[in-house]
Amino acid sequence: MAYKDFRDFLSTLEKEGQLLTISDEVKPEPDIAAATKAMSKMGAETPAMLFDNIYGYTDAKVAMNVMGSWPNHALMMGLPKNTPLKDQFFEFARRYDQFPMEVKREETAPFHEVEITEDINLFEILPLFRLNQGDGGFYLDKGCVISRDVEDPENFGKQNVGIYRMQVKGKDRIGIQPVPQHDIAIHLRQAEERGENLPVVIALGNEPAITTAAATPLLYDQSEYEMAGAIQGEPYRIVKAKDSDLDIPWGAEVVLEGELLAGEREFEGPFGEFTGHYSGGRSMPVIKINRVYHRKNPIFEHLYIGMPWTETDYMVGINTSVPLYQQLKEAFPNEIVAVNAMYTHGLVAIVSTKRRYGGFAKAVGMRAMTTPHGLGYCKMVIVVDEDVDPFNLPQVMWALSTKLHPKHDTVIIPDLSVLALDPGSSPAGITHKMILDATTPLAPETRGHYSQPLDSPLDVDKWEQRLRELLK
Amino acid sequence: MHTCPRCESKEATVVAKSPVEGAWEVYMCPVCIFTWRSIEPETITNPEKYNRAFKVNPDDIPSAENVPALPARYIK
Ligand SMILES: [Zn+2]
């Protein structure tokens, strides 16, 4: 089911009625970001958008909201577009278990069509535009950034493909935000300690399996390419860079090759972030671009980010929930049912679990906070019973309203780590965390009156099936 | 040279012109690295109308926090 390249995925979206082409003239600002934000407000089933008539440009094409809905996420996995969210979660978890899928190497790629090595001007090559009004410039925020471990360069698994925010800061200069928790920050640190620049490649306009893998909190030595292969169910195609040993997604529309400059930091930001707040201006590393390739008439992909929900939240929803689910299952294989860590990248997580004995659910909540992702997120973990669907918020709210006793079921743990972008953390990167135990008390707990849970009329399941048939 | 709406330095330069001649220009400030397009709303392009909460004082730039921190060999 693999998509050959970005265009292949766009044409599938079009066939499925999930791509809206906007051929009326739009201005780069504020129209593209405004239209995309407006689309995000229209629900969880919105189409991608392709802008092909942008004021001042002759042939620029910009694709937005490409994975900004559950139908588009389902199509990314080659599933029917109406696949329910919970089914997408379990199918993703199943494919996650197929990791690693070996890669397929190619000699040439479509992006070799046009190559630029002199007088590079990113402002002319890419149709750049501002996303949010307070942004300090024009950003790239859906590109795959590739780098290798400097001390173990042969290790394919330690090669990293990640998505980082990048500000275009000059004709051949790009600022990047590698916070210390990011894998690329480990590579940069290794290179800087040696006094060397770090080779990097930025691939723009990719088919969605690699974007999904790049946005998944994999372990440091797990290959995103081998995960993209697992997600799409066949080997992922890659091609070598020309200036380094880095591997590039074969289907990219635009590729920028360059190096992170050792010892250099430069003013960057602010940028409207997924937390719904701007990050302030800070000094960040700089990438010098030495080589650009692109397909003829490239389609430029971009991502609107801001107050949730936007495309980001669909893009990192299931692929954040699944690693937490797998890691919790390692600890509690017989109990964990499902994990929904889709809220602001998992700052809030909901875990559905069976309980062995009273107090068990609180341990599950604490374990969520000590997973690799939980260390930077999981500020609030809501734990619910096995019969509550964590993806169904009305059910979660029912559990909170009826099962939680504030005196017994609210646990606050002081001064844990969280990502510094959490605007509530103080100092940045430190926060109290909370477990809300909305499971039914179990012996030796004796409180509450839970012996008469409401059942359904007989044959509801039978009727549900029958009605589905009738409504087809 | 153009005035940067954000830090008000006078050193901003043109970094791109629209492929369709005369539609717009893009400017960049070398002091605070702000980038803007000539046809953006005045709240972006005009130093007087630029959102005060997002103004940058050039004197504060050298003391901005390094993310990530620099290894010891680069610390002066
Ligand atoms: Zn400035």
| Local structure of residue A111 (DSSP, 8 states) | G
Q: Are A3 and A251 in contact (CB under 8 A)?
A: yes
Known catalytic membership, residue A273: yes
Q: How far is the CA of B7 from the centre of ligand 1 (A)?
A: 4
Catalytic residue among A257, A273, A311, A335: A273
Å between B53 CA and nearest CA of chain A: 9
Residue A368 amino acid letter: A
Phi, psi of A230 (to 5 degrees): -65, -40
Which of A:61-120 have CB within 8 Å of B? Answer: none
| Number of Cβ atoms within 10 Å of the Cβ of B61 | 16
Contact predicate A314/A73, CB 8 Å: yes
pLDDT at A186 over 80: yes
* Cβ contact, residue pair A121, B16, below 8 Å: yes
Give the whole-number percent of chain A exceeding pLDDT 90. Answer: 98
Single out the residue of A142, A154, A224 nearest to residue A183, CA to CA.
A224
DSSP labels for A144-201?
A: EEEE--SSSTT-GGG-EEEE--EEEEETTEEEE---TTSHHHHHHHHHHHHT--EEEE
Closest by CA to B16, choosing from B38, B33, B32, B42, is B38
Residues in chain B: 76
A335-366 pLDDT, tens digit each: 999 999 999 999 999 999 999 999 999 999 99
Query: Residue B75 has what pLDDT?
Result: 81
A199-254 pLDDT, tens digit each: 999 999 999 999 999 999 999 999 999 999 999 999 999 999 999 999 999 999 99
The whole-angstrom separation of Cα A294 and Cα A297 is 8
Check CB contact under 8 Å for B34 and A130. no
pTM tops 0.80, yes or no:
yes
Q: Is the pLDDT of residue B33 over 90?
A: yes
Query: Tens digits of per-residue pLDDT, A8-65?
Result: 999 999 999 999 999 999 999 999 999 999 999 999 999 999 999 999 999 999 999 9
Q: Are A323 and A283 in contact (CB under 8 A)?
A: no
ipTM > 0.90 (yes/no): yes
Q: Which of B7, B13, B54, B75 is the mutation pick for testing A, counting most A CBs within 10 A?
A: B54
Chain segment A115-172, per-residue pLDDT in tens: 999 999 999 999 999 999 999 999 999 999 999 999 999 999 999 999 999 999 999 9
Residue of chain B nearest A57, judged by CA positions = B19
Is B33 within 8 Å of A123 when comparing Cβ atoms? no
Contact A96, A29 (CB under 8 A): no
Which chain B residues contact residue A132 at CB under 8 A? none
User: Which pLDDT value is given to residue A179?
Assistant: 86
- Cross-chain residue pair B15–A58, CB shorter than 8 Å: no
Averaged pLDDT of chain B:
96
The answer, yes or no, to whether residue A304 has pLDDT greater than 80, is yes
Given an 8 Å threshold on Cβ–Cβ distance, is B64 in contact with A134? no
Min Cα separation B56/chain A (Å): 9
Residue A389 has pLDDT above 90, yes or no: yes
Question: What average pLDDT does the segment A273-283 reach?
Answer: 92
pLDDT at B76: 73
